[in-house]
Amino acid sequence: MISQIDKFLRAELKLGLHPQKIILRKLSQGIDFLGYVILPYHRVLRTKTKRRMFRKVNEKVRDWESGQTSRKSLEQALQSYFGMLKPCRAWRSKQELKLKRMLDTGS
């Protein structure tokens, strides 16, 4: 099957497959792509991406509390992460960010 896909890509699109980067998985397992896991009917944020996002938000909050960054900078960071969560199913993460925003910025 991989050889058929490789032939098609080379003949029709002038592309090739990297031999060490081919992974065949069931569609129900999803496709890991750009920080999301793409499933048949929805997207979810990759766990590693979510952990990194909350670590950086916590760092930004600590910087704001210590006066190293402005409230505007903190708010911009939070808005950026809300944007990152928009195209996927991440209701709980969105709620955590909203709570963090209310507690830390007084909004």
Give the pLDDT confidence of 8-41 residue by residue, as tens digits.
Answer: 999 999 999 998 888 888 888 888 888 899 988 8
Residue 105: which pLDDT band, with cuts at 50, 70 and 90? low
Residue 34 inside a domain? The answer is yes
Q: Which has more pLDDT, 63 or 87?
A: 63
pLDDT for position 7: 92
**pTM (whole model) above 0.85:** no
3-state per-residue secondary structure call for 22-45: CCCCCHHHCEEECCEEECCCCEEE
Percentage of residues in the chain having pLDDT higher than 70:
95
Structural domain range at position 94: 26-105
Residue 79 inside a domain? The answer is yes
Task: Work out how many domains the chain is built from and give that number.
Answer: 1
C-alpha triplet 67, 64, 73: angle, nearest 5°: 110
Residue 39 inside a domain? The answer is yes
Residue 98 inside a domain? The answer is yes
